[in-house]
Structure 1
Amino acid sequence: MQQEIVLVDASVYVFRAWHSMPDEWVDHEDWPVNAVHGFARFLLELLERHRASHVAVAFDEALESSFRNQWYPPYKANRDPAPESLKRQFRYCQAFSRALGLHTLSSDHYEADDLIGSVLGQLRGQGFRGLIVSADKDLSQLLCPGDEQWDFARNQRWGHADVHGRYGARAERIADFLALAGDAVDNIPGVQGIGAKTASALLDHFDSLESLLQRVEEIPFLRLRGAKAHAARLREQADMARLFKRVATIALDAPVASEADAYRRQAPDQVSLQPLLEQLRIGPMTRRRIAELP
């Protein structure tokens, strides 16, 4: 039986807590810590519900310094910079994750998706399958048979075979799909005039973006509304489409630990945990949950 590594896209849940939790919680310096309290609840609930032996928790720190910004400067440029109060809370969340005994990752060059993909790539050869905890469709490109993705907030799970029905493209072609249809969240415009349905139909027929671009003269003969116009746009925007695929593809070469034991859950580090709980003014109920972790 394959072992499993749980790969947590932490930033999604920090942002969710920041937007949804009231800002009544402050630390001992009166800085807001609502996102930390929300993230702590999420992480504890995850560990209570899913007794994983191997866990990696990945945080985003490369919003403006990712290697993708060098390829395509508008990448994620539609997002406002995080205020200092939120940056402090991210640092707290990382410290809390580490203090719980979880392997915690961040990089100013690679995004959380790249860290997750690189860890999974390292451990596949050691007999592991992945459970990716995130609702982000980009991460579905990492799924192979046996892997799952878990939208924890909605308690929805899907595997490799479910990706096409969910997003309109096979897991291996999610980056091709985003190159064509675009991704507003990451400020990737895609090919002008091609939406999700058209991108799905084109990839179903041609299999990949590169095959589509090499066989663009066949598109006008497809039974597809606006086929002739789509062919013309793809001829004009072929280089940009290739660039968008490159930007949307998760890197698998981030510098991460290669040994499975590096990701094995450890007992909470009380030396760092207890002062952190005091600084964050964590209450007795959450402390009890930490003490009772399986």
Structure 2
Amino acid sequence: MSNNKKNSSVILIDSTALVLKYWFALPPIKTPKYESIAAFIGFMNFVLKFIVDNKPNKICFAFDECLGTCFRNEIYRDYKKNREVAPEELKQQFKLSRRFLSLMGLKNFASNRYEADDIIYTIAKNNRAMGLSNTIITNDKDLYQIIRSDDVWWNMSDKRYTFSNLTEMLAFTPDKIPDYIGLAGDRVDNIPGAPGIGDKTASKLLKMFGSLDNLYENIKTTVEDKILTLRIKNILLENKKLIYISKKLATLRYIKSFDKSSTVIQRDDPDVSKMIQFLKNVGINNNRITYINGLLKKM
């Protein structure tokens, strides 16, 4: 990657998923005060390694803080009803993670009305308007819908998808992910979709019609076949309202109230002295603090 290309690309990280990953994956780690910090330690180590390995100029982190208070709950009150509220010791580790990022000079955002996905979408759109491309780091396939021609979806493992990769894989353009979820639903987020229409049928319908709107514009005049059977036609016609509600739930929202100047994602220098004191207060051992101090001075 050339320096110009590297400098024009912004890294956008779905951070809640990372903290949760370490919450479930790592064995308990307690401070001398018996406070749990394993998820924070995992997240901190990820961030330090990522910065050292990739040296990004522009990077930011988005967190979820709106379970039950999101605007989507006003559209459909059972949205994410299947999600458990985070226990206090996990909430505390989210706070530690955000404080760590701030002391690192790394922008991070959360909202009690919008989800991390909406924040990432908003910043990505602002970046695009400034001629910047985006690399979205996440395991969430809902975020496929953000990807445009110069962007990359990356799960930090073996999967990196461009717009053309996704279009080939999905059989429809990634901006139609909300149409797909409108049809197939999403169990993880408790989005209903159309009863009786699964992933394969939803994909085939979008490949055939290109979009949900085009499907409904032509559904009554299209001759029934192996994909659009009489049964599927009836499901679509009987559940049109629910399907469009599901699409609305899956569609990422641009946050107009976001100050564009605050989302210019330039990495600042870390505040080394405050960081060292923060790590001591958290209960990180001295050897680890010395190692982190050495890394910070090189950034």
| Structure-1-length-normalised TM-score | 0.93
Higher relative contact order (CA 8 A, sep 6+): 1
What is the CA–CA distance in structure 1 between the aligned matches of 2:276 and 2:292, rounded to whole Å?
14
1:220–1:228: 8 Å Cα contact kept in structure 2? no
CA apart distance, 1:46:
1.5
Q: Which residue of 2 aligns with 1:251?
A: 253
CA apart distance, 1:172:
1.2
Cα offsets for 1:120-160 (capped at 9, x unmatched): 111211110000110100111000001001101x2321111
Indicate the larger mover: 44-53 or 97-106: 44-53
Letter in 1 for 2:67: L
1:18–1:34: 8 Å Cα contact kept in structure 2? yes
Pair 1:160–1:290, CA change in 2 (3 A): farther
1:169–1:177: 8 Å Cα contact kept in structure 2? no
Q: Which residue of 2 aligns with 1:53?
A: 57
What is the CA–CA distance in structure 1 between the aligned matches of 2:149 and 2:210, rounded to whole Å?
19
Letter in 1 for 2:205: L
Cα offsets for 1:228-257 (capped at 9, x unmatched): 111101111101111111110011225334
2:15–2:61: 8 Å Cα contact kept in structure 1? yes
Letter in 2 for 1:9: D
Letter in 2 for 1:163: L
Q: 1:29-178 maps to which residues of 2 (within 5 A)?
A: 29-152=33-156, 154-178=157-181
Letter in 1 for 2:165: D
Q: Which residue of 1 aligns with 2:191?
A: 188
CA apart distance, 1:227:
1.2
Name the SS of the counterpart of 1:190 in structure 2: coil
What is the CA–CA distance in structure 1 between the aligned matches of 2:175 and 2:67, rounded to whole Å?
25
What is the CA–CA distance in structure 2 between the aligned matches of 1:232 and 1:51, rounded to whole Å?
54
Q: Which residue of 2 aligns with 1:18?
A: 23
2:272–2:293: 8 Å Cα contact kept in structure 1? no
Cα offsets for 1:261-282 (capped at 9, x unmatched): 8411111123431222012222
Name the SS of the counterpart of 1:184 in structure 2: coil
CA apart distance, 1:19:
0.1
State the number of aligned residues.
291
Q: Which residue of 2 aligns with 1:27?
A: 31
What is the CA–CA distance in structure 1 between the aligned matches of 2:203 and 2:259, rounded to whole Å?
36
What is the CA–CA distance in structure 1 between the aligned matches of 2:56 and 2:275, rounded to whole Å?
21
1:219–1:228: 8 Å Cα contact kept in structure 2? no
RMSD: 1.8
CA apart distance, 1:5:
0.7
Q: Which residue of 1 aligns with 2:11?
A: 6
Equivalent of 2:211 in 200, 208, 211? 208
What is the CA–CA distance in structure 2 between the aligned matches of 1:60 and 1:16, rounded to whole Å?
14
Letter in 2 for 1:291: G
Pair 1:239–1:84, CA change in 2 (3 A): same
Give the % identical residues: 30
What is the CA–CA distance in structure 2 between the aligned matches of 1:149 and 1:53, rounded to whole Å?
18
Pair 1:19–1:166, CA change in 2 (3 A): farther
1:238 counterpart = 2:240: yes
What is the CA–CA distance in structure 1 between the aligned matches of 2:80 and 2:274, rounded to whole Å?
34
Pair 1:221–1:249, CA change in 2 (3 A): same
Letter in 2 for 1:156: K
1:62–1:109: 8 Å Cα contact kept in structure 2? yes
Structure 1 unaligned segments of length 5 or more: list them: none
1:178–1:248: 8 Å Cα contact kept in structure 2? yes
CA apart distance, 1:168:
4.8
Indicate the larger mover: 6-15 or 186-195: 186-195
| Structure-2-length-normalised TM-score | 0.91
CA apart distance, 1:287:
4.7
CA apart distance, 1:50:
1.5
What is the CA–CA distance in structure 2 between the aligned matches of 1:191 and 1:291, rounded to whole Å?
55
What is the CA–CA distance in structure 2 between the aligned matches of 1:130 and 1:66, rounded to whole Å?
25
1:291 counterpart = 2:284: no
Pair 1:114–1:286, CA change in 2 (3 A): farther
2:11–2:58: 8 Å Cα contact kept in structure 1? yes
What is the CA–CA distance in structure 1 between the aligned matches of 2:283 and 2:56, rounded to whole Å?
28
